[in-house]
């Protein structure tokens, strides 16, 4: 704590004592604890770019060590260190994924372009409902988002939702697409790579990805059906050669052991096993979720979805749009219905194909798989303007 506080104080003054470094870009993600998402893909695309000088900052020494071993010592540093605050102070651009708290306790150089690459698509609301935002909530919005110069987006709809949620002008949004979605179009892994993750699982033909969203006030329920029967689920998986991957939200502390014990075809695919889901998602045959945006990203690979909105009326965060209009798939409230709909989807019965196409067009302006190059080029141009 004292170390963080000390470097935090120093980070307030250094930007005004040091000149900017030509092409220097600082990147981080997931509150400084992760090496993932849009910032990671931008960073890896920038390494070797002679116009840019990227460095990854993290609060996790293991992440710093891995990056340095792969790319070189100059490409990563601890956020709360002399090197870390030195590079923040001299940065011409800073790329984050979760708001100003991505580098906790540190002042982000206001002379640099602050670029919010973000980490997902908007399905959930802001948790305020129709109530007038509290003073504390308005302060959090101001602190986390007001300093952002540019906010990455994938379509006008996404820009509009985030602009209203974070009280930002629509003009600060860049609809260049998300680099993480490029992996959906140009699969970054092979089926054999996925099989290597689960060497003890039986052979499978299909992957069913079960990815519920996070709840602060209640515990997320998996398979929340009155007719739930382990044997029925086990039989469905066996008969259809399905591997069921459970992917809780990173903030969810669910005990998956009881579910894993049902069948060797049920496995955990949490963020510790696969930090970036986009490497595995293209190889999935079906997504099952409640309100997670993964189903939207799955549309880039034409993956069907089944929805389990068991607490739709009481879900604490609310939703950013009309749920039934924007969820192109069956809504189920029983295991029997889920098994029936999943069997149909796995047998290529495309009952919701037109709805999938409609929603895909609303969320994605670009579906060419070149967002990483577009964003990198835009950053190069902006830094070039600052240097001229």
Number of domains in the chain: 2
In this structure, are 341 and 196 located in the same domain?
A: yes
Provide the token pair at 145.
């988002």
Rg of the chain, C-alpha, whole Å: 22
The pTM assigned to this predicted structure is: 0.88
d(CA 293, CA 300): 12
Q: What CATH number corresponds to the domain at position 259?
A: 3.40.50.12580
Task: Look at residue 130 in the predicted model and tell me its pLDDT.
Answer: 46
d(CA 112, CA 15): 9
In this structure, are 10 and 114 located in the same domain?
A: yes
Q: Interior CA angle at 182 toward 176 and 183, to 5°?
A: 155
Nearest CA among 71, 296, 298 for reference residue 183:
298
d(CA 52, CA 13): 25
In this structure, are 134 and 255 located in the same domain?
A: no
In this structure, are 160 and 270 located in the same domain?
A: no
In this structure, are 176 and 193 located in the same domain?
A: no
d(CA 124, CA 171): 22
What is the rounded (10 degree) CA torsion for 71, 74, 79, 84?
-170
**Burial letters for 335-360: b for 16+ Cβ neighbours within 10 Å, e otherwise?**
bebbbebbeebbeeeeebeeebeebb
In this structure, are 237 and 257 located in the same domain?
A: yes
In this structure, are 211 and 262 located in the same domain?
A: yes
In this structure, are 346 and 218 located in the same domain?
A: yes
Helix (H, G, I), strand (E, B) or coil at 199: coil
In this structure, are 140 and 159 located in the same domain?
A: yes
In this structure, are 373 and 358 located in the same domain?
A: no
Full pLDDT tens readout for the chain, 388 residues: 777 888 888 888 888 888 888 889 999 999 999 999 999 999 999 998 888 999 999 999 999 999 999 999 999 999 999 999 999 999 999 999 988 888 888 988 888 999 999 888 888 765 555 456 677 777 777 777 888 999 999 999 999 999 988 899 999 999 999 999 998 888 877 888 899 999 999 999 999 999 999 888 888 899 999 999 999 999 999 999 999 999 998 888 888 999 999 999 999 998 888 888 888 999 999 999 999 999 999 999 999 999 999 888 888 778 888 899 999 999 999 999 999 999 999 998 888 999 999 999 999 999 999 999 999 999 999 987 766 5
Strand order in the sheet with 150-152: 76-78, 53-58, 24-27, 93-96, 113-116, 150-152, 173-174
Task: Look at residue 7 in the predicted model and tell me its pLDDT.
Answer: 84
| Domain span holding position 381 | 2-182+369-387
In this structure, are 333 and 353 located in the same domain?
A: yes
What is the number of alpha carbons within 13 Å of residue 152 lying toward its C-beta?
32
Which DSSP symbol is given to 241?
Answer: T
Task: Look at residue 113 in the predicted model and tell me its pLDDT.
Answer: 95
In this structure, are 162 and 209 located in the same domain?
A: no
Provide the token pair at 320.
């950013």
Q: What CATH number corresponds to the domain at position 74?
A: 3.40.50.11820
d(CA 297, CA 310): 22
């Amino acid at each position: 704590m004292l170390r963080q506080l000390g470097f935090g104080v120093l980070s307030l003054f250094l930007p005004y004592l040091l000149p900017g470094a030509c092409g220097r870009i600082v990147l981080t993600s997931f509150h400084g604890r992760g090496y993932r998402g849009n910032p990671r893909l931008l960073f890896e695309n920038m390494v070797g770019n002679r116009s840019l000088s990227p460095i990854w900052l993290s609060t996790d020494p293991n992440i710093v060590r891995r990056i340095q071993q792969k790319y070189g010592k100059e490409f990563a540093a601890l956020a709360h260190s002399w090197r870390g605050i030195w590079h923040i102070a001299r940065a011409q651009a800073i790329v984050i994924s979760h708001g100003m708290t991505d580098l906790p306790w540190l002042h982000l150089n206001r002379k640099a372009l602050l670029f919010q690459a973000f980490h997902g698509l908007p399905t959930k609301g802001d948790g305020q409902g129709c109530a007038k935002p509290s003073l504390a909530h308005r302060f959090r919005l101001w602190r986390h988002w007001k300093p952002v110069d540019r906010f990455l987006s994938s379509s006008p709809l996404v820009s509009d939702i985030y602009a209203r949620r974070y009280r930002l002008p629509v003009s600060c949004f860049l609809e260049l697409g998300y680099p993480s979605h490029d992996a959906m179009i140009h699969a970054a892994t092979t089926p054999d790579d996925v099989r290597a993750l689960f060497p003890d699982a039986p052979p499978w033909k299909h992957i069913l990805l079960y990815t519920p969203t996070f709840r602060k006030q209640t515990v997320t329920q998996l398979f929340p059906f009155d007719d739930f029967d382990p044997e029925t689920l086990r039989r469905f998986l066996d008969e259809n050669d399905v591997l069921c991957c459970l992917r809780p939200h990173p903030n969810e502390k669910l005990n998956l052991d009881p579910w894993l014990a049902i069948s060797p075809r049920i496995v955990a695919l949490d963020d510790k096993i696969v930090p970036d889901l986009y490497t595995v998602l293209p190889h999935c045959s079906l997504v099952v979720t409640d309100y997670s945006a993964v189903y939207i990203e799955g549309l880039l690979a034409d993956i069907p979805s089944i929805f389990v909105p068991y607490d739709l009326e009481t879900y604490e965060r609310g939703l950013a749009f009309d749920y039934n209009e924007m969820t192109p798939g069956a809504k189920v409230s029983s295991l029997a219905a889920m098994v029936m709909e999943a069997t149909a989807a796995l047998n290529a019965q495309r009952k919701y194909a037109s709805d999938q196409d409609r929603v895909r067009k609303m969320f994605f302006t670009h579906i060419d798989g070149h967002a990483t190059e577009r964003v990198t080029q835009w950053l190069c141009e902006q830094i070039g303007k600052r240097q001229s």
